[in-house]
Amino acid sequence: MASSHASSHHLDVRLGDGLYTALQERCRRTGESASHVIREALAAALDLEHHTIYQVSTSGALVQGVYGGCVRVSELLQHGDFGLGTFEGLDGEGILLDGCCWQACGDGTVRQAPGDALSPFWVTTRFQADHSEILSQVASWADLMSRLDGLRDSDNLFVAIRLRGVFDRIRYRVACKAEPGVNLVSATKAQATFDLNDVAGTLVGFWTPSYARTINVPGYHLHLLSDDRRHAGHVLELQSRELCVELHRESHLQLVLPETSSFLRADLSSDPAAALAQAEGNHR
C-alpha cells in the first residue's frame, strides 16, 4: 500500500530476511539511511539515476562569490561517479571520474580529494554513454565544440561528455583559493595557466542549455585529468589527432541549494552569463 503527501510518497514493502539483513549491514557500514539505499536501488532499476544530474548550488551563486563549502565529497560520491566542480574557497578544480574524486591545486599538483573535503558547487551524474564516436584531427577548442554540436540531438537537454585520447597540446587553468565574497571574475584573475604537449588524458564535463545559465555554466564546460594523474584543470584550448567522445543525455535535474548564510543573503537576481563567459570560458 502506498500513501503520499505533497511530493513525498510512502511505500510499505515486505522484505525477506536475507534482503533485510543485507540492507541493515549496508546502512551500518556506510551510515546511509534505509530510505536512501532503497531510493538509490529503485532509481537504478528504473534507469532514472542514469539520466540524472545531481547539482549542488548554482553558477549564479558562484559568480557572486558564494564559495563556502556545503557538501562533502563523500556525499557527492553517493550521487554519481562522474562530474566536476570546485572546493571550499574556490580552492582548485574538481574532477570526478570512475567514482574517484581529484583536486587540481593552484600550484599545479593533483591529489585525490579526501572524503571530508567540502565543495560549494558541484555537478555529478552516473555516466553511461548513449552515443560514442571517434573524432579525428581536432584542430582547436572551437573545432571540438562545433563537432560536438553536430552530435547533440537537442538544445534543450543537458549532456554529460567524456573524451579520451592523446592531446598534442592542451591549455588549462586552475583557480586559486579566494577570499569569501570576492566575485568569480576577480577571483579567476589570479588563476594559474598551464600548457602541455603530448599528454594522454580524459576530459570530463557537461553541455548546459542557454536557458539554464543561472543554474550552470551555459555551453561546454570540461576539465582535464591526465592518465598519470599528475595534471588536471579547466580546459581552455586543445589539439588532438584522435579523440573518443562519449555523450550521455540528462533528462532529470536534482538541484540542491545551500542553506549557508552567504547563499541565503546573496543577490542572485542578475544574469550571470557575461561573468561566466569571462571567468570560465576565456578560450583563446
Which of helix, strand or coil describes residue 31?
coil
Tell whether 257 is covered by a domain: yes
pLDDT given at position 170: 98
Among 207, 143, 188, smallest CA distance to 282 is for 188
CA–CA distance, 93 with 102 (Å, rounded to integer): 8
CA–CA distance, 16 with 102 (Å, rounded to integer): 39
Tell whether 219 is covered by a domain: yes
Higher pLDDT, 279 or 109: 109
Helix (H) / strand (E) containing 45: helix 34-45
pLDDT given at position 96: 97
Tell whether 2 is covered by a domain: no
pLDDT given at position 6: 37
Ranges 43-57, 129-143, 147-161: which has the least confidence: 43-57
1 pLDDT more than 90: no
pLDDT given at position 239: 98
Distances (CA, A) of 14 to 18, 46, 179, 276: 12, 19, 52, 50
Same domain assignment for residues 173 and 196: yes
φ/ψ region of 76 (left if φ > 0, alpha if ψ in -120 to 50, else beta) reads: alpha
Same domain assignment for residues 104 and 243: yes
Residue 184: pLDDT band by 50, 70, 90 thresholds? confident
Tell whether 163 is covered by a domain: yes
207-266 per-position pLDDT tens digit: 999 999 999 999 999 999 999 999 999 999 999 999 999 999 999 999 999 999 999 999
pLDDT given at position 44: 67
Higher pLDDT, 282 or 45: 45
Tell whether 5 is covered by a domain: no
Cell numbers placing 213: 545559465
Same domain assignment for residues 28 and 98: no
Tell whether 268 is covered by a domain: yes
CA–CA distance, 139 with 119 (Å, rounded to integer): 34
The residue-averaged pLDDT of 34-47 equals 72
Same domain assignment for residues 74 and 99: yes
**CA neighbours within 13 Å on the CB side: how many for 140?**
5
The domain boundary, picked from 24, 46, 68, lies at 46
Same domain assignment for residues 170 and 263: yes
Same domain assignment for residues 57 and 38: no
pLDDT given at position 13: 83
Same domain assignment for residues 117 and 21: no
Q: Are 61 and 183 in contact (CB under 8 A)?
A: no
Number of domains in the chain: 2
Q: What is the CATH number of the domain that holds 160?
A: 3.30.1330.80
Q: Are 232 and 104 in contact (CB under 8 A)?
A: yes
pLDDT given at position 187: 78
Same domain assignment for residues 37 and 100: no
Residue 31: pLDDT band by 50, 70, 90 thresholds? low
Same domain assignment for residues 149 and 36: no
CA–CA distance, 96 with 108 (Å, rounded to integer): 18
283 pLDDT more than 60: no
Same domain assignment for residues 25 and 106: no
Residue position matching grid coordinates 589539439? 239
270 pLDDT more than 80: yes
Which of helix, strand or coil describes residue 43?
helix
Tell whether 1 is covered by a domain: no
70 pLDDT more than 70: yes
79-122 per-position pLDDT tens digit: 999 999 999 999 999 999 999 999 999 999 999 999 999 999 99
Same domain assignment for residues 273 and 193: yes
257: number of Cβ within 10 Å: 13
pLDDT given at position 119: 96
pLDDT given at position 182: 84
Helix (H) / strand (E) containing 268: none
7 pLDDT more than 80: no
Cell numbers placing 246: 562519449
Same domain assignment for residues 31 and 124: no
Which residue range forms the structural domain that includes residue 40? Answer: 15-46
CA–CA distance, 88 with 179 (Å, rounded to integer): 10
pLDDT given at position 183: 84
Tell whether 210 is covered by a domain: yes
